[in-house]
Amino acid sequence: MGLFILRRVAVMILTALCLTFVVFTMTNLYPNLEKLAKSEGNFRMTDIEVASWLANNGYRSPVDPEMLAAYRSGQITAEEAATQINTGFDLRLVRNYAEWLGVAPGYRIETPDGEVNARCQLPGTALEDAPRFCGILQGHWGFSTRFKEPVGGVIGTRLGLTGKLMFWVMVLMVPSALILGILAGMREGSALDRSLSTVSITTTATPEYVSGVILIAVFTSSAVGLKWFKGSAASAMEDANFENFFLPVLTIALYGMGYIARMTRASMAEVMSAQYIRTARLKGVSFRNIVLRHALRNALIAPFTVIMLQFPWLLNGVVIVETLFNYKGFGWAVVEAAGNNDIELLLGVSVVAVFVVLITQLISDIGYVYLNPRISVT
């Protein structure tokens, strides 16, 4: 088992490096960097001024000094200088990725004005006190241009709020889905099976933005008269209770519940038709013991994998629900980062998303081996 886990961890590390490099490359495309330069500098900056700002702040390779001097002296126009700017792939990207990871020293660039820009220099500190390495491995996640604070603090706060939401969703969704799936699969083709299957398909086929709007209209509107809950979960960020937190939890749980229930039902129905179950029936074993002692463990193998896959889905799929109920968690932070071109925050949330996906996949693989003794890890 130890060698199995080591192999999985090695594959996880390689996968994480590939995925983060792809995300890093996409977020550092020139159009995104151009927007960043203009939002941090001046929206009226010319193309050559944008290229100079990006070079001085370590995002791109230095601009040709002769061309820059010719532009500043008026020998060439801004349009002529723009044609000589590299807006495609830049080898500087590879070094920037290594600096972002923390395996290469942070840049120190002296600008034409004599100032020194250093990646590892924090605001209000001296350049001499700046460390050489300041990447993800050192716990330096960058600085959010949207929230004007370190990315690590933003992600920690928002991830904690979404974690609270995910916990209660799983508490409601998983037991309910397993019970529905087991009851339906115990007697395949019965009226109970058809009824529970219909409910499961209906909840799965209904998107969160539809079920959320319906729940808000029914249970928070004076038009219907069932003002049992609050239509906003903003107050739940500080003090979550049944009144302000149940609707967003129910909205997410309903969508995932049907899928898990359907998988459990299919697995349970397959197990109940197996030869060893028939043998147990012929020997006179009670139906209750057949289900609890023989069928249940084998029936939970497939649903266990599906349940573990719900964690990355919940982390990245709560965007609609958090926006709908004004709950400022991880999904809300992703929307804010994308809408405001916050590159450092986008990279930070991508690291968290990749980490959650890989960790849950590892737990799923280990759990699958324990639940299914027929699988060999040698």
Task: Specify the CATH number for the domain of residue 310.
Answer: 1.10.3720.10
173 and 60, same domain (yes or no): no
Residue 226 covered by a domain: no
Give tens-digit pLDDT for 84-119.
Answer: 888 888 889 999 999 999 999 988 888 777 788 888
pLDDT at 197: 81
Number of domains in the chain: 2
**What number of residues does the chain have?**
378
42 and 191, same domain (yes or no): no
| Entry pTM | 0.80
Domain edge (last residue) among 79, 113, 140: 140
163 and 124, same domain (yes or no): no
Domain edge (last residue) among 94, 118, 140: 140
57 and 172, same domain (yes or no): no
Residue 267 covered by a domain: yes
Please list the ranges in the chain whose pLDDT falls under 50: none
pLDDT at 210: 86
79 and 199, same domain (yes or no): no
Q: Which two tokens stand for residue 283?
A: 């020997």
260 and 292, same domain (yes or no): yes
116 and 200, same domain (yes or no): no
67 and 119, same domain (yes or no): yes
Residue 51 covered by a domain: yes
pLDDT at 101: 92
Residue 246 covered by a domain: no
Residue 187 covered by a domain: yes
pLDDT at 373: 60
Residue 221 covered by a domain: no
Find the domain containing 329 and state its range: 152-209+252-371
Phi-psi region of 11 (alpha: psi -120 to 50; beta: other; left: phi over 0): alpha
84 and 205, same domain (yes or no): no
97 and 191, same domain (yes or no): no
Domain edge (last residue) among 140, 167, 189: 140
Q: Is 337 exposed, middle or buried (0-12, 13-18, 19+ CB in 10 A)?
A: buried
pLDDT at 225: 63
Residue 235 covered by a domain: no
Residue 217 covered by a domain: no
What is the distance between the alpha carbons of residues 14 and 315, in angstroms, rounded to a whole number? 22
Q: Is 347 exposed, middle or buried (0-12, 13-18, 19+ CB in 10 A)?
A: buried
Give CB contacts under 8 A, 24+ apart, made by 167-172.
Answer: 168/245, 168/249, 169/249, 169/252, 169/253, 169/256, 169/314, 170/310, 170/314, 172/249, 172/250, 172/253
171 and 286, same domain (yes or no): yes
86 and 185, same domain (yes or no): no
